[in-house]
Amino acid sequence: MMAKQWARPATDALRADGLRIADLDTSGTPGFKGDKKAGRELLAERTQVLSDLQEKLYANGRSGDGRSVLLVLQGMDTAGKGGIVRHVIGSVDPQGVDHAAFGVPTPEEKRHHYLWRIRKQLPRGGQLGVFDRSHYEDVLVVRVHNLVPPKVWEPRYDEINAFERELVDEGTTLVKVAMFVSLDEQKRRLRERLERSDKYWKFNPNDIEERAYWPAYQEAYQVMLERTSTEHAPWYVLPADHKWYSRLAVTELLIDALERLKLDWPPAQFDVTEQLRLLERA
Ligand code: ADP
């Protein structure tokens, strides 16, 4: 059985609890024993499982089930957030996906509380939501660059926990994934963006300057994990040097979240026998 190549489930192997990200081996494949070829083969199989589960979630949403799943992706530039959106989320039915990316706040967003723009993009019942960056930027980039003073960002950890508690109580399962590549791997990926014309569009000169802040980001990520990995919304720490592993691992995390909803196909809201009889006559 292919699935046996997970010595430990991803939900277990990637839990943030007690982890020091400074010590993280970003080229590791926690819990997975197989190589790239095995990983890719398994991913093809598991993608189908994910797609079927997501269709069930969507079908239930159409029948009034208010529950949803929200994937929150955080990671420095080049960590591979876009690849997860394209390859993992791209493999499910797009009508069931609510995708949102959060960049530098617009002037209008700046006039509001930092959760204002987040609340507007929460997934509706039956949807698989995906946040490419999130409210966590407000304790990451904001902290690293002193965009607001500590007395403003410090209370945000507790506030975010309370906000997420509310989401969970309303029926949203959060899957929070923090992706990490090594500084060397980031350099390699940035170089590729400068060497290939089909990658120029992904390059931002600012990404080079941000490399100087790597230790500050590591610190900010560490505190984020310690303060906001909760029982109701745990963080998963994903070593992301190997794209095949990142994609497989996120697929497994989403499958787990969806399976925990114990979804069935919604029952018919009509008399099936009667409708069949009418169809034959039509
Ligand atoms: P990407 O670089 O991921 O393709 P964008 O360039 O649109 O996407 O936006 C990402 C940038 O927005 C990142 O540098 C990120 O740190 C910044 N950003 C996101 N949220 C905030 C925030 N709340 N405050 C300041 N900067 C933010």
* Nearest CA, atom 12, ligand 1: 103
Predicted confidence (pLDDT) per residue in 39-98, tens digit: 999 999 999 999 999 999 999 999 999 999 999 999 999 999 999 999 999 999 999 999
Measured in Å, residue 132 CA sits from the centre of ligand 1 at: 10
Measured in Å, residue 63 CA sits from the centre of ligand 1 at: 36
Measured in Å, residue 118 CA sits from the centre of ligand 1 at: 14
**Which atom from ligand 1 is nearest to the alpha carbon of 114?**
23
Is 271 among the domain residues?
A: no
Our answer on whether the CB atom of 137 is closer than 6 Å to any ligand 1 atom is yes
CATH code for the domain of 99: 3.40.50.300
pTM: 0.96
**Which atom from ligand 1 is nearest to the alpha carbon of 138?**
23
Is 87 among the domain residues?
A: yes
Kindly compute the dihedral angle of the four CA atoms of residues 71, 10, 144, 149, in this order, to the nearest 10 degrees: 60
Is 282 among the domain residues?
A: no
| Domain assignment of residue 113, given as a range | 10-263
Is 279 among the domain residues?
A: no
| Number of structural domains in the chain | 1
Q: Which of 77, 104, 113 to mutate to test the pocket of ligand 1 (most atoms within 8 A of CB)?
A: 104
H helical segments located in the chain: 10-13, 36-62, 81-83, 107-110, 116-120, 141-144, 150-153, 156-169, 183-195, 206-210, 214-228, 243-259, 272-281
Is the pLDDT at 2 greater than 90, yes or no? no
Q: Across residues 227-254, what is the average pLDDT? A: 98
Is the pLDDT at 28 greater than 90, yes or no? yes
Is 113 among the domain residues?
A: yes
* Nearest CA, atom 6, ligand 1: 103
